Structure 1
Amino acid sequence: MTVTAESPTSFTSLNPATGEVVAEHPVLGADAVAKALTRAREAAGWWRGLSWKERRVRLLNIKGSLTRNLNRMAELIHEETGKTLQDAQLETIMAIEHLDWAARHARKVLGPRSVYPGIMSLNQKAVLEYQPLGVVGVIGPWNYPIFTPMGSIAYALAAGNTVVFKPSEFTPGVGVFLAEIVDAVVPEHPVLQTVTGLGATGAALASSPDVDKIAFTGSGPTAKKVMAACAQNLTPLIAECGGKDVAIVDAGANLDAAADSALWGAMSNAGQTCIGVERIYVVDESYDAFLAKLTEKARDLRPGFDREAAYGPITMPGQLDIIERHIKDALDNGGTAVVGGVESVRKPYVEPVVLTDVPESSAAVCEETFGPTITVHRVRDLDEAIERANATSYGLAGTVFSGDRSRAMDAARRIRSGMTSINAFAAFAMVAALPFGGVGESGFGRIHGADGLREFTRPKAITRQRFALPLNLTSFERTEKEMARVLQLVNLLHGRRYKR
């Protein structure tokens, strides 16, 4: 991405593998963002007024159009991020699956429902509704430019909101094309608008009093800036930030499958995955065999922009310095590069790097690397693996490989993360019904699934008195005798002792 000197109101998106210009886009300022939000507010009234069925049909037609344009979208992702075409196709398929789930399940999850009022309020009809917020601002990332923002866009639209989407300046074309698809299917009102630009454009969206919620994906430091902007208007925020995610290899695990899955989790998309595997803890009895299988597979991987390449370039040039620094720090502190090394950084590519004997205090273990590097650690047992896995401020995702189902489930529950997969990498991301999000420095809030739909609504509680009770406790006319009867009833209902 570069800002052109001749036209400071525009910028170009570049292919990170070739340096070629993909397209030029406008840098939209605060006024343009405000106008987009005004249009979104007007559209929100119409969109909210549609029936569940009418919204579902439109969203399913958007899904159909995106599916018919899958290869075109994937080619654009391929050009703007440099990731392989097949990975771009897979990403688009995942986005389609989530759009489909949100459209089909919104009514079931968010429709009005009766709630049991309790004995003390039997005369009340209690109803819970989930009402749309209005206008949602989505600030998306560059590493998964269609799948990740779709986790907010699809669910916000299905919940009855309109959306203003600010894509990354590295992948603006993906956001523009998505808005074009939606406009063609829903021409009546702009339910999804894309605003292109740099950091100031996103700041204008986050700080506007006319947005009802922000869904942000990006780094922790940037998330804090977005939170500060949102705080000006008490705008609620979903923050999906980075991770230093772990894979644990237990005794009895299928080591061939574990090595294959962990390597994919570490190296796919050039390691530029928030839920990617960056640390592997292997129990002592499996360590040597696992490491041998992992290194053998890693040596066969080759980055590039051609169809035979395993993964593409580093999309954001500045990340190359961080990757190189982490490798050097690991080696300077006693680590060993069993695959690759500092020389693996060949801009704009980074060849596979596998590091062992790296101290837990090193940057390669503590900080998010976001590159095709991985550290492998020998541990005494599963308990030590979990203890080390949780010794981080991040808490996004994790993976457990084990031949014992109960041990694997116990480990998955004990890992401090929002999501964990067993004997597969990031399988939870493919299951649209499951929530996606982290804890700690990895952010808060959830997208995907029923929880993701509810994130873009406000719960509304409604009671309707069906008949008057003989005792009216919320009146200045209540008597001591009436209160005594109520206290007697409460003691009867709730005062008894329970055996342990």
Structure 2
Amino acid sequence: MTEKLESLNPITGDVVGTYPIDDADSIAAAVQRARALTPWWVSIGYDGRKEVLAQWRGVITRRMAQLAQVVHEETGKPHADATLEIGLAIDHLAWAAGHAKKVLGRRTVNAGLLMANQVAELEYKPLGVVGVIGPWNYPVFTPMGSIVYALAAGNAVVFKPSEHTPGVGQWLADSLSEVLPDQSLLTCVHGIGPTGTALCRADIDKLAFTGSAATGKKVMATCAENLIPVVIEAGGKDALLVDQDVDLAAAADAAAWGAFSNAGQTCVGVERIYVHDKVYDGFLTELTKAADGVRAGVGGQLGPMTMESQVGVVRSHIEDALARGGRAVIGGADAVGDRFIQPTILVDVPEDSLAITEETFGPTVTVTRVKDMDEAVELANGGKYGLGGAVFSKTRGAELAQRLRSGMTSVNSVIAFAGVPSLPFGGVGDSGFGRIHGEDGLKEFTYTHATTRQRMKPLMNLTSFTRGQKEDTAFATLLTALHGRASRVRGIAD
């Protein structure tokens, strides 16, 4: 009997759907079908792909409510939040399809004076078949950040959604099949860890993974067996800096959303806040006020912990912080239920506690008083993660943002960078490497192809055994004229 994967509603425990679990053979067959389709997908060109993806965009847009219901049933998040992430994914789909030709298409580049007789051209070609392993917290927006950019670049995709949200992944694949019936441009495969491992070992050309750093390392190791390149978007421990000159109510409102929305299950969510001493008390008052009316539960603004095991992680971080001298302004250990966790604000938490050093992935946030923004930057950069971040400051926002060690930073807002399709998304350190979204996201799923074409005979034929002393002398003279001018290097003493 074929093994089945059950999708469960995290609020009720009811079975939402069942899906056959794919093994290595069925995944290999899916990759083979995808590869057979890629010559046609490449042949229709950027304009043809743009038209197909525009039709798919229309299907998703017209059926947003239907997809939002599937997201709600499998993750528990409110319909409004599900619709928000779907809308952002639609916008990214439009941008990727509309900009692929300009970003990736063949163009002429400067050949330089030494090679002036050559026409130099550059283009980015699709890899072939891209594997995508998606998460459950944003089951539409996050994997679509890889899927749509890979498709727009000319690849076919085999997608393994999280075992917690298989219905969302299948809905996306089925909706594209309405535009291209009986095609395998986007194929969905289902299962748990072994299915992901089989996809890593399949005949794919690249793999994009979103998940924890620990799992990301396993994905890398498995893909390395066949030299399959990877994009890793792992966890985060994002910090928000609050300077002394901000609108405290606005900063607190944004901080509350960044920390508690989606029940804190956001890789670029706010988990640490560093506040200037002069406004610390006022900010904490405003943040408490902003969080006071936010509730988790059926009909509330926050859904449940989609993954049941995450409840224990959040509880352990809160308990560790309290045991080490921290204090809960709202929430605390009693805020952690069986599936729902109420917003929790922790203060006076030591910098080496779990709530500061490890990704919590729940509706909790630490607030720390700092003497100035230099200390705030130092503490924000002190961890092993480097995904996103935010700065609130009227006069120093841009400067402070440049000093943060993170792949993305928002100034006077939170998480805004994720909604801008032209900006790349990704991190450094234990937050991973590679980029989705934007021009970088399109190029991530291609390989660079450079060509030269001789347009006239060279004045000096340097790549021939007929080269003589005359050519060597002329070459040395030209190099000296171009690059030999002496200049004074400014040193530290200057």
Q: Under a length normalisation based on structure 1, what TM-score does the superposition of the two structures give? A: 0.97
Deviations 1:29-64 (A, max 9, x none): 100100000001101111011121111000011001
Counterparts of residues 251-290 of structure 1 (less than 5 Å):
251-290=244-283
Counterparts of residues 306-345 of structure 1 (less than 5 Å):
306=299, 309-345=300-336
For 1:140, give the aligned amino acid: G
The equivalent residue for 1:479 is 468
**In 2: Cα distance, 1:470 partner to 1:400 partner:** 56
Counterparts of residues 40-119 of structure 1 (less than 5 Å):
40-119=34-113
How many Å apart are 1:186 and its aligned residue? 1.6
Residue 19 (str. 1) matches residue 13 (str. 2)? yes
Among residues 150, 162, 171, which one is paired with 2:156 in the alignment? 162
The equivalent residue for 1:363 is 354
Deviations 1:248-281 (A, max 9, x none): 1001111101101000000001000000000000
**In 2: Cα distance, 1:486 partner to 1:213 partner:** 43
**Counterpart contact for 2:6–2:17, Cα < 8 Å:** yes
Greater displacement, 185-194 / 152-161: 185-194
The equivalent residue for 2:205 is 212
**In 1: Cα distance, 2:132 partner to 2:315 partner:** 32
Q: Percent identity?
A: 55
The count of residues paired between Structure 1 and Structure 2 equals 489
The equivalent residue for 1:492 is 481
How many Å apart are 1:299 and its aligned residue? 2.1
Among residues 138, 145, 156, which one is paired with 2:139 in the alignment? 145
**In 2: Cα distance, 1:479 partner to 1:399 partner:** 61
For 1:253, give the aligned amino acid: V
Among residues 273, 295, 306, which one is paired with 1:302 in the alignment? 295
The equivalent residue for 1:3 is none
Residue 240 (str. 1) matches residue 233 (str. 2)? yes
**Counterpart contact for 1:83–1:305, Cα < 8 Å:** no
**In 2: Cα distance, 1:334 partner to 1:161 partner:** 53
Gaps of 5+ in 2: none
The equivalent residue for 1:184 is 178
**In 2: Cα distance, 1:164 partner to 1:20 partner:** 28
* SS of match in other structure, 2:151: helix
How many Å apart are 1:347 and its aligned residue? 1.0
How many Å apart are 1:177 and its aligned residue? 0.5
Residue 446 (str. 1) matches residue 435 (str. 2)? yes
Residue 415 (str. 1) matches residue 400 (str. 2)? no
**In 2: Cα distance, 1:160 partner to 1:305 partner:** 42
**In 2: Cα distance, 1:475 partner to 1:283 partner:** 67
Residue 202 (str. 1) matches residue 196 (str. 2)? yes
**Counterpart contact for 1:278–1:369, Cα < 8 Å:** yes
**Counterpart contact for 2:5–2:190, Cα < 8 Å:** no
The equivalent residue for 1:382 is 373
The equivalent residue for 1:4 is none
Gaps of 5+ in 1: 1-6
* SS of match in other structure, 1:234: coil
Aligned structure 1 segments of 4 or more residues deviating by more than 4 angstroms: none
For 1:48, give the aligned amino acid: V
Deviations 1:455-493 (A, max 9, x none): 000010000111211421111111122101111111111
For 2:218, give the aligned amino acid: K
Q: Under a length normalisation based on structure 2, what TM-score does the superposition of the two structures give? A: 0.98
**In 1: Cα distance, 2:180 partner to 2:5 partner:** 29
**In 1: Cα distance, 2:71 partner to 2:487 partner:** 61
